[in-house]
Structure 1
Amino acid sequence: MNDSKHVVTGAFGLSGRYIARRLLGRGISVETLTNTQPKADPFGGRVRAHPLNFSDADGLVRALDGADVLYNTYWVRFDCKRFTHEQAVRNTFALFDAAGRAGVRRIVHVSIMNPDSRSGLPYFRGKGQIEEYLRAGAVPHSILRPAVLFGDNAILLNNIAWMLRRFPCFGIFGDGKYKIEPVHVDDLAALAVEHGARTKKSVTLDVKGPESFEYRELVRAIGGAIGCERRLFSISPATGYFCGKLMSVLKGDVVITREEIQGLMAGLLATDSEPNAPTRLSDWLAANRDWLGGRYQNEMKRRV
């Protein structure tokens, strides 16, 4: 067993779980900051859990005391009564402050492609503010910027497949020619663990797989893989949001937000950087076509 202690926020969530698995595979002691209590422990008791209580600064410091690396996957996808982007930004500042007080050697932070602290989109603005705060601090860090994750029970691609399995056609926002660059969650985890082993130099890195899709092409690829090739037609962003709102009511969830539609159509889920993750989405779709989209993945239920 490696003597060092690494702490992962949200180790029972998607990206945090894959990071924790990678660390455990290297014999590293892993602890998590989380408010989730899974029905079944995916780590068999090997990961000690601490409350992720942002209002208890001293408690965060105690949980991080002796930690070599902090991997931060904490964020919120949209604003609601229980949580907001502004609150998530303040919470992340508190987490980074606690890491500095605890003497954490390095922070590996999962961000998003094309963050901008001056953006009109709260998701991208908040991510940009957090990056600026982390850079202004004293703790060496790596900032990893994926766009859309796939693998396991990642929400976006699964729920597109779920809709394709159940409806005879599928609406595309606008012309659907804007790019999206998915990356497998385990490839992100591998890069996170690799960057956790780095020493002093701070790094900011886009994380993207070997395939880039126009959104229309992505939907066609999913439909073809699961044997549900549907007619695609263009709809306005307003119509798409209205349809998503109706689906949200039916599923008790937030299927999509105005900001997500705007960010997608603005091409913010792609960059000109070189691919650095090996897993091809097309290969993964072919290998997982039997179950993909079989069940709707509910974001609100996960959060609750």
Structure 2
Amino acid sequence: MDIRQVTVFGGTGFIGRYVVRALAARGMRIRVAVRRPELADFTRIAGDVGQVMAVQANLRFPASVAAAVAGSDAVVNAVGIPYERGRQRYKAVHADGARHIAEASAKAGAQRLIHISGIGAQQPRTGNAFVESKAQAEHEMNRAFPGVTILRPSVVFGPEDRFFNRLASAAQMAPFMPVFGDGLAKFQPVFVGDVADAVAHAVVDRTTAFGAYELGGPRVYTYRELVELTLRITQRQRRLISLPVWPAKIGAFFAEFLPVPPITRDQIDLMIRDNVTTPGRPGLSELGITPHSAEAILPMYLDRYRVSGRYDLTAPV
């Protein structure tokens, strides 16, 4: 398939910036569609001069979405918000935004549409507004652009992630590490670079159309094991304390009023539920990708949290 021009929504976000790099490495021209293009200049270095450009688009305004998509052979939706603030609501960004992207892509005649969702979005849990909005986004995508390829990663990790960096930061400051519930919920963390490669593969592979892929790393961990892995890499010795879920959610309720909440009730809900790939469902291997392990990648960026400092060559990895 001859894909030359790709529009990436959310190209300045954690996953989106890696998607831009992966597409640029394959010689495609990329439009990074964002609300404030002046803050997206750093994405230009992902490719050659003129290969990557930022364009203005606001998912709440269909006309701006249509303008960003016009003339593109493929479209990628990597938009996501971890919490709600002002006009940035889950419904407006995840669900309605997905509908606007899908409708604009279909009208513009785009050959491919890739949507990054999350494991569990196909089975929304009542009471979790974040997951329910992700599920609605998938529905809107399938309705308006039936040939959409949906990618559902587990917890995504990489240098800018909010998961391991927060655990490591908490271990620096707190005398103990909280574990919500029994800490036995299962996770299958996947490297952000592998997710980006999956997107790039799906963009050019027409056989991935009409499909949903669950993306997970090579190993399944409990939440408690991920906390212990973080402590081992950062050389911290902290006692793990199990916190009852409901009191923790009460604290999260008040935390949600902060400008940047350290945690939300929806996030706590996600930490006590399994988030692993479904046996038999297509994933990274079907996309020709061998996943990187957390043990191989985490020391490359969590080393800055070590007790002995980043440049201690005797530190265990």
Q: Same fold (TM over 0.5)?
A: yes
Q: Measure the CA separation in 1 of the matches of 2:134 and 2:96.
A: 11
Structure 1 position 46, deviation (Å): 3.7
Please point out which of 173, 196, 201 is paired with 1:194.
201
**1:117 to 1:208, Cα distance in 2 relative to 1, 3 A:** closer
CA contact under 8 A between 1:245 and 1:254: conserved in structure 2? Answer: no
Structure 2: gaps of 5 or more residues: 285-289, 308-317
**1:164 to 1:46, Cα distance in 2 relative to 1, 3 A:** same
Q: Measure the CA separation in 2 of the matches of 1:87 and 1:35.
A: 14
- In the alignment, which residue of structure 2 is the partner of 1:162? 169
Please point out which of 280, 285, 289 is paired with 2:293.
280
Q: Measure the CA separation in 2 of the matches of 1:72 and 1:133.
A: 12
Q: Measure the CA separation in 2 of the matches of 1:178 and 1:91.
A: 31
Please point out which of 231, 239, 247 is paired with 1:239.
247
Greater CA deviation, 278-287 or 153-162? 278-287
Structure 1 position 245, deviation (Å): 6.1
Please point out which of 244, 253, 263 is paired with 1:256.
263
Please point out which of 103, 118, 125 is paired with 1:112.
118
Structure 1 position 248, deviation (Å): 6.7
Q: Measure the CA separation in 1 of the matches of 2:158 and 2:60.
A: 33
Greater CA deviation, 40-49 or 188-197? 40-49
Structure 1 position 23, deviation (Å): 1.1
2:139 maps to a residue whose letter is: E
Q: Does 1:209 align with 2:217?
A: yes
Structure 1 position 96, deviation (Å): 1.2
Structure 1 position 259, deviation (Å): 1.7
Structure 1 position 99, deviation (Å): 1.0
**1:60 to 1:243, Cα distance in 2 relative to 1, 3 A:** closer
CA contact under 8 A between 1:31 and 1:50: conserved in structure 2? Answer: yes
- In the alignment, which residue of structure 2 is the partner of 1:60? 65
Aligned length: 291
Q: Measure the CA separation in 2 of the matches of 1:151 and 1:129.
A: 27
- In the alignment, which residue of structure 2 is the partner of 1:76? 81
- In the alignment, which residue of structure 2 is the partner of 1:21? 21
**1:223 to 1:244, Cα distance in 2 relative to 1, 3 A:** farther
Matches within 5 A, 1:88-127: 88=93, 89-116=95-122, 118-120=124-126, 121-127=128-134
- The secondary structure found in structure 1 opposite 2:6 is strand
2:218 maps to a residue whose letter is: P
- The secondary structure found in structure 1 opposite 2:276 is coil
- In the alignment, which residue of structure 2 is the partner of 1:218? 226
Q: Measure the CA separation in 2 of the matches of 1:255 and 1:293.
A: 21
With structure 2 as the length reference, what TM-score do the two structures score? 0.84
CA contact under 8 A between 1:61 and 1:98: conserved in structure 2? Answer: yes
Q: Deviations over 1:79-136 (max 9, x none)?
A: 3333211212112211211111111111110001011465311111111112122222
Q: Does 1:129 align with 2:142?
A: no
User: Identity across aligned pairs (percent)?
Assistant: 23
Matches within 5 A, 1:39-50: 41-44=42-45, 46-50=51-55
Q: Does 1:85 align with 2:98?
A: no
Structure 1: gaps of 5 or more residues: 295-304
Q: Measure the CA separation in 1 of the matches of 2:199 and 2:61.
A: 27
CA contact under 8 A between 1:171 and 1:240: conserved in structure 2? Answer: no
**1:293 to 1:104, Cα distance in 2 relative to 1, 3 A:** farther
Q: Measure the CA separation in 2 of the matches of 1:125 and 1:208.
A: 21
Q: Measure the CA separation in 2 of the matches of 1:166 and 1:262.
A: 24
Q: Measure the CA separation in 1 of the matches of 2:234 and 2:278.
A: 30
Greater CA deviation, 186-195 or 47-56? 47-56
Please point out which of 51, 56, 60 is paired with 2:56.
51
**1:159 to 1:73, Cα distance in 2 relative to 1, 3 A:** same
Structure 1 position 287, deviation (Å): 2.9
Structure 1 position 164, deviation (Å): 0.5
- In the alignment, which residue of structure 2 is the partner of 1:38? 39
Structure 1 position 39, deviation (Å): 7.5
**1:42 to 1:86, Cα distance in 2 relative to 1, 3 A:** closer
CA contact under 8 A between 1:150 and 1:185: conserved in structure 2? Answer: yes
- In the alignment, which residue of structure 2 is the partner of 1:5? 5
2:232 maps to a residue whose letter is: G
2:18 maps to a residue whose letter is: Y
Q: Deviations over 1:28-66 (max 9, x none)?
A: 111111024337524236421121223442332222111
CA contact under 8 A between 1:163 and 1:293: conserved in structure 2? Answer: no
Q: Measure the CA separation in 2 of the matches of 1:15 and 1:92.
A: 17
RMSD, matched Cα: 2.4
- In the alignment, which residue of structure 1 is the partner of 2:276? 270
